[in-house]
Amino acid sequence: MAKGLGLALVGIVLAGCERPIPETVQSGYRGTGMAQVYNARLLEVKTEKNQPPVVIPSAGSDGPKASKVYKNVKVLGDLSVGDFNRLMVSMTSWVAPNEGCAYCHALPNFEDDSKYTKVVARRMVEMTQHINADWQPHVAQTGVTCYTCHRGEPVPSAIWFKSDPQPQGSNFIGDKAGQNTPSPVVNLSSLPNDPFTPFLLDKQNIRVNGPTALPSGNRQSIKQAEWTYGLMTHMSTSLGVNCTYCHNTQSFQNWENSPPQRVTAWHGIRMARDLNLTYMESLTEVFPANRKGPLGDVAKLNCATCHQGAYKPLNGAPMAKDFPELLKPALAAAKVAAK
């Protein structure tokens, strides 16, 4: 019996251990806590999941334009037929490799817009061009393609919908304010489980305290600060990093001594908000009911949609360089060529 109790105690102790022993990478002076912690076993899995796909070689820009050969080409008509077909084949492998062309097209009529997936895909191409052209403070020259988010799946694995702040039965214990409903979004903590609506859709202040003393305008209470912690928890998990990747432990709120990644993250938050408002919300009437959330809203993106556990999506693979048609809006490219 004593032996069994001893084994049980050993099991309890070892249950709190992590294998293998985590590795730390120091990014600041010793003793400041400026270090990133990595588990080699988990890092290997993330690395494998973030491998870029094989790129189909360009067919060249020679030959007739797609808009002259095919009907109803509204976004990519300035591409050569060869490069247009190359992108279509690539998009199929990026988004719907099992379904094929029929996922978006009402075969055999490729010009038909009756499928909602085709309308959405066209808008997503425009969104990709917008990201690469106008959000370089976040994506830099690396850029994104459809694969960055989709990874071979019609629906990206990391999307979000608005959550009901007052679910049925919550009045029994008062207004839960979205808290105490454990969610993977906030690592199963008691933090608000929808930290996205206030910050990646609305423009609420992302703070843990107010800029002034009470009572003159300081409305950043502890309760409100927990929404900020929820967003920060999501960002940390999404990028596979801890707080010191963007913040200096000497003063988390100080910008001057923060790592440069904090500025990149600042732009990323605003980029996500822009994309959700400009592109995703505008498709509300296009998506069918079965593709919407419980409150009737469309799927939206957050940090995990692109990053998926890597501090740089696809481990920093320069996805967009092989597809210059996705680096800037086709309309803008046509205007430049016409000058």
- Does 146 show up as a binding residue in the annotation? yes
Q: Tell me if 247 is assigned to a ligand binding site.
A: yes
Q: Are strands 35-38 and 23-26 parallel, antiparallel or unpaired?
A: antiparallel
* Closest by CA position to 306, among listed 115, 135, 72: 135
- Give the closest residue to 168 by CA, choosing from 294, 305, 84: 294
Taking the alpha carbons at both ends of the chain, their separation in whole angstroms is 87
Q: Which residue has the tokens 């990053």?
A: 307
Tell me how far apart the alpha carbons of residues 73 and 27 are, in angstroms, rounded to a whole number. Answer: 49
Q: Is 267 annotated as belonging to a binding site?
A: no
What's the CA gap between 143 and 323, in Å, rounded? 10
17 labeled part of a ligand binding site: no
Q: Nearest 5°: CA angle at 241, between 240 and 243? A: 145
Consult the annotation and say whether 232 binds a ligand: yes
Whether 271 has a binding-site annotation, put simply, is no
Q: Which two tokens stand for residue 34?
A: 């400026």
**Spatial CA neighbour of 240 closest among 155, 145, 154, 316:** 316
Is 307 annotated to bind a ligand? Reply is yes
Closest CA to 52 of 166, 144, 163, 127: 144
The Cα 16–Cα 286 span in angstroms is 48
- 72: number of CA atoms within 13 Å, CB side? 10
Question: Is 280 annotated among the ligand-binding residues?
Answer: no
Annotated binding residues for heme, written as ranges, equal 88, 101, 104-105, 124, 138, 146, 149-150, 232, 243, 246-247, 303, 306-307
Annotated binding residues, written as ranges, equal 88, 101, 104-105, 124, 138, 146, 149-150, 232, 243, 246-247, 303, 306-307
